[in-house]
Amino acid sequence: MRRAVFPGSFDPFTLGHKDIIDRGIPLFDEIVIAIGTNSSKKYMFTLEQRKKFIEKTFTNQPKIRVDTYEGLTIDYCKRINSDYILRGLRNPADFEFEKAIAHTNRKMSKIEHVFLLTSANTSYISSSIVRDILKNKGDVSLLVPKAVLDQ
Ligand code: ADP
């Protein structure tokens, strides 16, 4: 089975994340959207909320599973038998950051990183901008899936 992990903090899940998943679905038998938890990091949404947003967004998609993990992403991939890490690339800064991680992971494991370039109409979206808008009571309806708006 061709299984990929799509790791992230998803605080919250956005239409940019969804675009990468929707386009990754035909490439894999299963995509596990894995919410990484870091106890020293402060999140706007709880782990349960972040998980629920993603589960609701993909209710009718049998290829998608949502999980949470702590520690290194490659250790998590080995635990669930995934040979691929799926990531989205928005801009050169993402590329430089992802390149270092992918090279490091390749040294430490056989896991292959697969990168999808974002769609032009969602490439500007980031969870941090969504959080800023929400903190200031702005409208994020064009940036996040319906499940996040319904919270
Ligand atoms: P992290 O905390 O690991 O950066 P994020 O939740 O911010 O996690 O992002 C997870 C993945 O989604 C990363 O590969 C990131 O590049 C990708 N991503 C984030 N925003 C977008 C977007 N607007 N379009 C496509 N991919 C995105």
Q: What share of the chain in percent tops pLDDT 70?
A: 100
Ligand 1 atom with minimal separation from the 86 CA: 14
Annotated catalytic, 50? Answer: no
Taking only the tens place, the pLDDT of each residue in 121-147 is 999 999 999 999 999 999 999 999 999
Annotated catalytic, 110? Answer: no
Say how many Å lie between the CA of residue 6 and the centre of ligand 1: 9
Annotated catalytic, 90? Answer: yes
Indicate the pLDDT class of residue 41, thresholds 50, 70 and 90. Answer: confident
pTM of the predicted protein model: 0.94
If phi over 0 gives left and psi between -120 and 50 gives alpha, with beta otherwise, what is residue 70?
Answer: beta
